Amino acid sequence: MLEEYMQSLGYKREQITLIKSSYPLNTYTESTLLYLMKTIVNYLRQNTFDNEDIIHITTTTPQIISKSIEDIKIKIEVLLKYGISKIDIFYMMKQYPYLMEMSNQRINNRYITLEELGFNNTQINNIFIHKTEVFNIDPSSIKRKYQYFQECGYKDNQIRSILESLPELWLISRAQITKKLEEYHSIGLQKEEIKKVTYYLPELFIYEKEDLKRKMSYLEEYGYSIKEIISIIRRVPIILKNYYLDTIKEKLNNLEGFDLSKEEIVILTTKNPYILLYPIEVIKENFNNLLENGFYHKEVIKMIKDTPLLIGYNKDNIKLKLQKYKELELQDYIKEHSNVLLYSYELIKKRKKYIKQNEWKDLFLTDQEFSKKYKKTRNDIMRG
């Protein structure tokens, strides 16, 4: 009867044998075991578990079959009290069936340990939901893992973020993590850069170093060299967040819409990687800003290539300068020296009174050049 029932659920012969021979189930009569099996199966089924889940849970921890439903409900109440939803609790049970075997004291102690390290309740729940095995790590090991990251130079908020985002790290040895950090050092990243990069993409701790390349594979296929990719990551590590990686393809395609070749886009975005983070609307606005102020498309392309920072620069600021420089008939000068559009208008405004008409280009001289020609230092100009 028991075997027929279990086979009807999908248990294999060896799984049935495993359960029947486990303690304390091996002390029960067949009818008692059948009753207990049906009780636990019905309860789990009522709570969204399917047969595959039930087999996984009961073969991983057969002792659960001997638990009363009341006991299981009490365990669930403990976790609900910490703010974990019932759905997540059942997910945790599927992921880590031993959860139901844990004492409430152990669960409470782990919460306390993580709170002492500064994790808030949401962070702790996220850790336990995604890696329930962490409940099984003793408090001193939890603290040692945290200290290890402190010794590596990570700040507390970074450590908490990393360990919450990738709870697997709690289970990985310090030696393995150290090895990973050394691997990234070997591909050219310095210590501070590795910290930044792993903060934004903690998965790098478990990726093979080739995985970093694969993560950026779209950029490689597009035409970026590994050196250029590392250079981008080094300066703008936030780009490793999936939020940005998911949209890189679209952004590069949009940049091609400005009649830029792939090679030109690679050069532009390597000089100014922030371009890959701006929403395309901002890029279009800046581009149109220049077109609307009297520059032809080809001229705008040249200006952007000469001064990549123009993309993403505050458009109102650029607009103001374009209008002012237009009044001084400096359009042609700007085409060849687009970097002057970045110069602080405060300085330009103050220099203007010292310069004769038709010599407006002198607005953009360096301090040394200006001082030589007009006998006025920066101090004279700024405080005059």
Q: Helix (H, G, I), strand (E, B), or coil: what is residue 109?
A: helix
The least CB distance from residue 340 to another protein, in Å, is 9
Distance, in Å, from the CA atom of 241 to the CA atom of 197, rounded to the nearest integer, reads: 10
Distance, in Å, from the CA atom of 267 to the CA atom of 191, rounded to the nearest integer, reads: 26
Decide if residue 246 touches another protein (CB under 8 A).
no
Residue closest to 303 by CA, chosen among 318, 320, 281: 318
Decide if residue 120 touches another protein (CB under 8 A).
no
Decide if residue 249 touches another protein (CB under 8 A).
no
- Binding residues for another protein, rule CB under 8 A, total 37
Decide if residue 130 touches another protein (CB under 8 A).
no
Decide if residue 154 touches another protein (CB under 8 A).
no
Decide if residue 336 touches another protein (CB under 8 A).
no
Distance, in Å, from the CA atom of 284 to the CA atom of 302, rounded to the nearest integer, reads: 16
The least CB distance from residue 245 to another protein, in Å, is 12
Q: Helix (H, G, I), strand (E, B), or coil: what is residue 371?
A: helix
Which of 9, 16, 245, 282 touches another protein (CB under 8 A)?
282
Instruction: Identify each DSSP E strand in 310-365 by its residue range.
Output: none
Distances (CA, A) of 382 to 41, 188, 351, 354, 357: 81, 43, 9, 12, 21
Report the site for another protein in 6-65 (rule: CB under 8 A): none
Answer whether the bond into residue 24 is a cis peptide, omega within 30°: yes
Residue closest to 147 by CA, chosen among 177, 123, 191: 177
Q: Helix (H, G, I), strand (E, B), or coil: what is residue 190?
A: coil
Stretch that binds another protein, among 94-102, 216-224, 253-261, 312-320 (CB under 8 A): 312-320
Stretch that binds another protein, among 101-109, 131-139, 253-261, 341-349 (CB under 8 A): 341-349
State the residues that interact with another protein by CB under 8 A: 155, 192, 235-236, 238, 241, 243, 271-274, 277-279, 281-282, 307, 309, 312-314, 316-317, 339, 342-347, 364, 366-368, 378-379, 382
